[in-house]
Structure 1
């Protein structure tokens, strides 16, 4: 994502930027978008630094995003993930995200995507 896009999201009242860091070093981030006219939040981006993978940071960011979505009154969280990203799909499935739609050729390189959805508890 470009610096310009990040600046726009950081200023937006409809975006939540969650970070995982230690000692001032950024290890991961998650961008959650919440539209005004929707009760569904969207995980737009989740990134964990290669050196920090396998430590549960992605999982912690997803849980925090779900809590942020609930606090905003959302009833569900959706996201798109590469169909061939088995690690990410496993993380989301572990947390109750289920396939909603196949997105053929969704990514720039032609890879397929999946739209996942998780209803949140009332």
Structure 2
């Protein structure tokens, strides 16, 4: 995984209140929750996923979604793949737009201001 992608993951962790530092299999790691299903996600302190954590663009890039931290979350691979099937229908499917709105609201609920220390 690229350094840029690991940095992006650490940026998401820094702004997601579900993530806390913990010990995982004898080493320090971040433990948080999937934006969709709340399954546990484990990420190394270097930003390398230990579990199948993936970057979720809440508003799909195909619909104008950006890489802004408020539009990014971490999701388990299963949930992210499931949502990606709906992303292509975003403009013509009300259910896909409702899902995006629910996820954006959940991201706002989980938001914490980064303090600059935890993501290092």
Q: Which structure is higher in strand share? A: 1
Structure with more contact order per residue of length (Cα contacts < 8 Å, sep ≥ 6): 2
TM-score range, shorter chain: under 0.3
Q: Which structure is higher in helix share? A: 2
Normalising by structure 2, what TM-score?
0.27
